[in-house]
Amino acid sequence: MSPAGCPHVNGFKVDNWKQNLRVIYQCFVWSGSAETRKRKAKSCICHMCGAHLNRLHSCLSCVFFGCFTKKHIHEHAKNKRHNLAIDLLYGGIYCFVCQDYIYDKDMEQIAKEEQRKAWKLQGRFFPLFSQGQWEKYSTWEPTKRELELLRHNPKRRKITTNCTIGLRGLINLGNTCFMNCIVQALTHTPLLRDFFLSDRHKCEMQSNSCLVCEMSQLFQEFYSGHRSPHIPFRLLHLVWTHARHLAGYEQQDAHEFLIAALDVLHRHCKGDDNGKKANNPNNCNCIIDQIFTGGLQSDVTCQVCHGVSTTIDPFWDISLDLPGSSTPFWPLSPGGDGSTLNGESHLSGATTLTDCLRRFTRPEHLGSSAKIKCSGCHSYQESTKQLTMKKLPIVACFHLKRFEHSAKLRRKIPTYVSFPLELDMTPFMASSKESRMNGQYQQSVDVFNNDNKYSLFAVVNHQGTLESGHYTTFIRQHKDQWFKCDDAVITKASIKDVLDSEGYLLFYHKQFLEYE
């Protein structure tokens, strides 16, 4: 949304819009009196499914309540072209054209006034423990004196499109480019950055042995504004301590380092939330699992009784086979109709990331040598196995399997794989499985469905051979602004440089996040 705000609010501001908005806040959002609370409980249900929950929203153009989670309010907005709706729990106003919650000064003032009235009627204040007793207070707002101080001291650090805060090179400590490239990707992961810069980690270990504490210090170094390259010797020492298979000055695999780093970070910050259960397959609420953990669904179908056995396993990354490897690559021919998916054109004949994901999620016949005991037939039968995404992570990392190790050969696979700036994972979801036809997903265009859409924000590349190579990273600083990180040297890069690169690890971030 532009700094000017939502342009679609003016369509609502006609006639008695202020009074109408006050009534909505009084009756359906804040509900100060017992009578209005009863009315809200009885009347505020989804007009499509009858549910009370699922983030109920009310249309501002007509009397319609709909679930935000199940997209019922989205369907109403699309059919009636009613652009604005109000969240009945928090009072935020959502624009379906801008696809975001909006801020309007006049509406915000009405919301605050009605919220204060409701709190006064309820005698409800937020508690604050001070000097041994509970005090009552309302939400903080700057006083006139504080506003004057802000006006007289306008010089504050601003994040502009040309800002280089967060860009900092890393000294190579002897074949440690594999570590430097992953550190660059992690320090530019938005939610991870927000977590560490807001000092959320509560350490339960000795700080000199905690990798999370060191990462917190690393983020402080990166966003301090210093331009000289940082020397990550403490980080390297802690990695050697907690992941001994990576110790030594030999060149290591960046993908292996990423998984090892996430594993140690996960183990060291689990105590932050005392093992609280979370909505991810790892049932862990640590910041690593909140951001990186997804759920991979495996469906094994018996070829005799067609019974399906389903398991869901957590994952931090998806490893994808490439054409040119010794593993037979699924013969894909999506270019027959000249179509595009995820913005990737197949006219050039190049393999795309979507091709690799299609292959990863295709049904696979396990054969007679790998019979599985069927719970329906109670005997060993041939079966097919299919992998799909049950739950997507906030950050999806794709590992292109460029290094092949087998008894006969060890080599690097240089196959070029085209990958997009924006990726829609809907075709590869478990919920989309029934919509597949012969391994191809017939995609329908739905501009309101953004749940599974991702944006590229980091690419790790490997130059050279299996025996002698070097890792670099492209990172996105701002929208459409990319930089190449080559150890201590950081240079500006174009989008073409990024998309033309070979690609080894691809990091995508969800475009829209559910409020929890």
Within 133-259, strands assigned E span 133-137
**Cα distance between residue 415 and residue 324, in whole Å:** 7
Q: What is the largest CA-CA distance in the chain?
A: 81
Q: Is 268 labeled as catalytic in the residue annotation?
A: no
Phi, psi of 318 (to 5 degrees): -120, 120
**Cα distance between residue 95 and residue 487, in whole Å:** 43
| Burial of 358 from C-beta contacts in 10 A (0-12 / 13-18 / 19+) | buried
DSSP 260-317: HHHHHHHHHHGGGGTT---SSTT---SHHHHHH-EEEEEEEEETTT--EEEEEEEES-
Bridge pairing between strands 318-320 and 395-400: parallel
- Beta pairing partners, 120: none
Q: Pinpoint the alpha helices (H) of 49-97.
A: 72-80
Closest listed residue to residue 45, CA positions, set 64, 29, 30, 61: 64
Q: Is 163 labeled as catalytic in the residue annotation?
A: no
Contact indicator for 507, 497 with CB cutoff of 8 Å: no
Q: Tokens at residue 161, please? A: 């499109």
First to last CA, the chain: 22
Q: Tokens at residue 156, please? A: 């504050």
Within 109-161, strands assigned E span 126-130, 133-137
**Cα distance between residue 339 and residue 333, in whole Å:** 11
Contact indicator for 28, 40 with CB cutoff of 8 Å: yes
Element housing 424 (H / E) = strand 422-424
DSSP 309-370: EEEEEEES-EEE--TTSSSPPP---GGGGT-EETTEE-TT--EEHHHHHHHHTS-EE--GGG
Q: Residue 448 has what DSSP assignment? A: T
Contact indicator for 422, 495 with CB cutoff of 8 Å: no
**Cα distance between residue 363 and residue 361, in whole Å:** 7
Q: Cα dihedral sign for 28, 31, 36, 42? A: positive
Query: Which residue in the list 177, 210, 269, 374 is annotated as catalytic?
Result: 177
Element housing 87 (H / E) = strand 84-87
Phi, psi of 423 (to 5 degrees): -130, 130
Catalytic residues, by residue number, are: 177, 470
